[in-house]
Structure 1
Amino acid sequence: MSAGVTSIRTLHLSSDSERIGRSAGGRQAGPVTTTSAAGSAERTATFRDVFAVAEFRALFASFGIFLIGETVKMLALSVLVYERTGSGLLAALAYVTGFLPHALGGVFLLALADRWPPRALIVGYDLLRLAMVAVLASGLLAPGAMLGLVAVVGLFGPVSSAARAALLPEILHGDAYVLGRSLLTMASGGTQVAGFAVGGLLLGLVGPYGALWLTAATCALSALLVRLGLPVRPARARAGGTTGGRGAVRETWRVNRALLGDRRIRGLLLAQWLPGSLLVGAEGVAVPYAAGLGPGASAGVLLMAGALGMLVGDLLVGRFVAPRRRERWTPWLALLLGVPMLVFVARPALWPAAALFAVSTAGFAYQLGLARRFLDAVPEARRGQAFGLLSTGLMAVQGLAAAGAGALSEVIAPGVVMALAGAASLVCTLALWRVLSPAAAPPAAAPPAAPMR
């Protein structure tokens, strides 16, 4: 759930960007050092502070359009493959075909997120998606070839996502960065819901091929917004400089090992990967749980309640809780993920179950309390890869949790599986309590910049 958005400074910016940075506050990316209240660690940023930044508006709008386009594409491709093959398995593969390539790209290609200029990388990926969707919409490929094309293009998805996430702290500073991350998380949930609604409508009006052509238009619009709305920034790490001329795959493996080898970074990664991702196992069995409640019970009610709880939690904690208090609340919010799920062992009815889901997923706001600490822990030159590793780990753990819960539901009641998912989240939260608590966070074993050059 929280993986929709995972979390996303000091580079050579144009004078326009320096002026933009002042409107958000915090440390500037150029010679300007003025600090405003919006960037102060003591003051809670406001939506006005964040949306006053023109670069964030462009990034936010392009991200929403990107997600709507991806959702429509998945729906259209799934329907198209099913119409041409009659195979439910191939239709399901079409719907989730981007998952494995995303994980593989996160393992082998993340170094590109720091070796290429971020604006060029994001625009380039949007244009690559545009070409891919145009080929799909042309109807020239067989279903197997269509899935293969989507998988190949999907390899570069985590690189673009990492570049986008790493841009956020360069655009917003101080508490504005945390609120901006919260807004992107909320946008992730809201735009995907909108994408499902728009996709269903388009499929009925213009069919899957027409929906794919309209998806191509979203790719072009997203690329245009990024191209016009973001200034040019250099790559954080040069292929012939800090990387020593290594290939992207070798460099990705080396830096991933270095990031995971740092005790502070590893702890913060685990803290963001485990407590929330394990809860996804409970969502994975929402359908059989609702089916067991009898006629009229819908898994959609549970899943919508979970999405609503996450959005409300991010909104309240990100906007109305002061930065230091938010960080102190981090372990307690993480506990909130698991505790309500324990009640599912008693098999509550649909609406009480929906309320429990909403309360539980509000705990995902615990990740906002880790955002600035993670940002400060990773080397600036490897920020893109660090955010990409965070996203890839989230996807992997969530996928394993959902698969494990589904397997368990074959032998034990879904309500018990949900309770076990909550218990697993609680155990991880307690085990990581010192990492989640800012006052007791372990120091880095060594300065991370040296081994990552």
Structure 2
Amino acid sequence: MASGTQPGSFSAVLAISEFRALWLAELLSVLGDQLARVSLAVLVFYRTDSAALTGLTYALTYIPTLLGGVLLAGWGDRRSRRDVMVITDFVRAVLVALMVVPGMPLWLLCVLVATTTLFGGPFKAAQQAALPTVLHGEQYTVGMAIRNITMQSAQVLGFAGGGILVAAISPSVGLAVNAATFAISGMLVRYGVRNRPPAATAPGDARESFLSSTTSGARLVWRDPRLRTLVALNWLAGFYVVPETIAAPYAASLGAGTAAIGLLMAADPIGSVIGGVVFGKWVSERTQARIIGLLGVAAGIPLVCCWLYPGLVPSMILFAISGMLATGYNIQGVVQFMRRLPDERRAQGAGLNSTGLVTVQGLGAAAGGVLADLVGPAHTIAIAGTAGTLVAIPIAMAWSRIHAAEPVSVGAVAAEGRS
């Protein structure tokens, strides 16, 4: 660990070379992915003039992650996590590079997009499983805050800058840049992260089938009330994603122009960045661990205010506050969840948690769209906030009981048990 008087500060965590390699690799991948999504949307629409096919191709940059996150996440337990990240990065670099080939049939392009997305699941699971080994004690919480700040910022910049860049060059060049980001990411991980043996060292663990690994990982999470409660807390995002997904009709209901759509969509990520700074720098891990249930409840309250039909600027402020509070419970919820998983099941557990998170966000987005047509966008956001708050209350009560029964926090144990 880097020397210094504040081992849990942002600068001290960024001084850890292994974390820096993982962080830069992920940052490059996120920027490249956002650019690729814009490039694919433009490329397919120009070739087909079909909004439906464009939407299908865009969906393929998300949906296969569900399959990869469930069935392939166990790779990160049975193989070296560094090797899993390197292999999946280079496989994705090759697949994206093939998309640049002129005259690529649309069906084959869709297959390549889906396969590329599929390999994102095991990469993310292995990366999340590796972080608690690289960062110790409160460093892990700070590291997660740094990741949240930079990845949220990268998504906003990737979408905004991606549109400008693709317009200035071409979709094919955008895809080529994405392929390069995967290759560079793989090199950063290969030479910046220490190779460690597989976490599942028992002979039975190494030979375990994908299906058996998945079911045993699901049973582990379901049977442990602590893990089950933390997963439920993280999955509250299914309610709180609704404002972002219906930003266009909500802006129209406010009588605002097209530019307002982007402002409304950016409000939550901006709040998340602020939340990452606040909870990463100024709120201790012990306090965060105690209040994450309350933060889950509080994140829905700003959205409830949409019953009052606030204007554009008040709506942006409300969405940003919700995003800030949601970041507080999300960062610490993931930290507590990962620490409570046995190392030999950590990648599988991370895959299940993140896959479920994507699923509930997709369901929330779909339900929000349908409900907005029935009762209007403002009422839909208010209903989502009310429902999220009500669902979060028993989760917060369950977490309060669990946390009170643990006289020494998991984070404290981790900090004391490692050098």
Q: TM-score, normalised to structure 2's length?
A: 0.91
| 2:104 maps to 1:120 | no
| 2:340 maps to 1:361 | no
Structure 2 partner of 1:23: 2
2:215 and 2:84 map into 1 onto residues whose CA distance is: 20
CA drift of 1:442 comes to 6.5
Residues 256, 331 of structure 1: alpha-carbon distance in 2 compared, 3 angstrom cutoff:
closer
CA drift of 1:185 comes to 1.3
The C-alpha deviation readout for 1:68-87, integer Å capped at 9, x for no partner, is 11111111111111111111
Structure 1 partner of 2:178: 215
CA drift of 1:283 comes to 2.1
Identity of aligned residues (%): 34
**In the alignment, residue 243 of structure 2 is paired with which amino acid?**
A
1:282 and 1:95 map into 2 onto residues whose CA distance is: 20
Structure 1 partner of 2:414: none
Residues 376, 127 of structure 1: alpha-carbon distance in 2 compared, 3 angstrom cutoff:
closer
**In the alignment, residue 220 of structure 2 is paired with which amino acid?**
A
2:211 and 2:72 map into 1 onto residues whose CA distance is: 6
Residues 296, 103 of structure 1: alpha-carbon distance in 2 compared, 3 angstrom cutoff:
same
**In the alignment, residue 334 of structure 1 is paired with which amino acid?**
G
**In the alignment, residue 345 of structure 1 is paired with which amino acid?**
W
Structure 2 partner of 1:380: 343
2:160 and 2:109 map into 1 onto residues whose CA distance is: 24
Structure 2 partner of 1:9: none
| Matching residue within 392, 413, 424 for 2:376 | 413
1:175 and 1:376 map into 2 onto residues whose CA distance is: 12
CA contact 1:271–1:435 (8 Å) conserved in 2: no
CA contact 2:78–2:206 (8 Å) conserved in 1: no
Q: For 1:235-314, what aligned pairs fall within 5 Å after superposition? A: 235-238=198-201, 241-243=203-205, 245-274=207-236, 276-296=237-257, 298-314=260-276
Structure 1 partner of 2:288: 326
CA contact 2:307–2:378 (8 Å) conserved in 1: yes
Q: For 1:107-256, what aligned pairs fall within 5 Å after superposition? A: 107-238=70-201, 241-243=203-205, 245-256=207-218
Secondary structure of 1:409's aligned partner: helix
The C-alpha deviation readout for 1:318-349, integer Å capped at 9, x for no partner, is 11112222222322322221111111012111
Residues 442, 142 of structure 1: alpha-carbon distance in 2 compared, 3 angstrom cutoff:
farther
CA drift of 1:24 comes to 7.4
Q: How many residues align?
A: 404
**In the alignment, residue 249 of structure 1 is paired with which amino acid?**
L
CA contact 1:268–1:435 (8 Å) conserved in 2: no
Residues 24, 80 of structure 1: alpha-carbon distance in 2 compared, 3 angstrom cutoff:
farther
Residues 132, 386 of structure 1: alpha-carbon distance in 2 compared, 3 angstrom cutoff:
same
**In the alignment, residue 423 of structure 1 is paired with which amino acid?**
T
**Structure 1 range deviating more: 298-307 or 158-167:** 298-307
Residues 109, 320 of structure 1: alpha-carbon distance in 2 compared, 3 angstrom cutoff:
same
Residues 370, 212 of structure 1: alpha-carbon distance in 2 compared, 3 angstrom cutoff:
closer
Task: Mark the runs of 5 or more structure 1 residues left unpaired by the alignment.
Answer: 1-21, 26-35, 39-44, 444-453
The C-alpha deviation readout for 1:215-238, integer Å capped at 9, x for no partner, is 222121111111111111111114
**In the alignment, residue 21 of structure 2 is paired with which amino acid?**
A
Structure 1 partner of 2:413: none
Structure 2 partner of 1:33: none
2:405 and 2:241 map into 1 onto residues whose CA distance is: 28
**In the alignment, residue 333 of structure 1 is paired with which amino acid?**
L
1:336 and 1:263 map into 2 onto residues whose CA distance is: 22
Q: TM-score, normalised to structure 1's length?
A: 0.85
The C-alpha deviation readout for 1:151-198, integer Å capped at 9, x for no partner, is 123222111101011111111111110010111111111111222233
CA contact 1:24–1:173 (8 Å) conserved in 2: no
CA drift of 1:296 comes to 3.3
1:170 and 1:245 map into 2 onto residues whose CA distance is: 24
Task: Mark the runs of 5 or more structure 2 residues left unpaired by the alignment.
Answer: 407-419
Residues 231, 349 of structure 1: alpha-carbon distance in 2 compared, 3 angstrom cutoff:
same
2:379 and 2:405 map into 1 onto residues whose CA distance is: 35
CA drift of 1:285 comes to 1.6
Structure 2 partner of 1:340: 302
CA drift of 1:105 comes to 1.6
Say what the alpha-carbon RMSD is for the aligned residues: 1.9
CA contact 1:278–1:421 (8 Å) conserved in 2: yes
> Which has the larger helix fraction?
2
CA drift of 1:401 comes to 0.7
**Structure 1 range deviating more: 149-158 or 126-135:** 149-158
**In the alignment, residue 139 of structure 2 is paired with which amino acid?**
A
CA drift of 1:244 comes to 6.1
| Matching residue within 313, 327, 352 for 2:314 | 352
2:282 and 2:374 map into 1 onto residues whose CA distance is: 44
Runs of 4 or more, structure 1, over 6 Å off, are: none
CA contact 1:341–1:357 (8 Å) conserved in 2: yes
CA drift of 1:99 comes to 2.0
**Structure 1 range deviating more: 286-295 or 197-206:** 197-206
Structure 2 partner of 1:88: 51
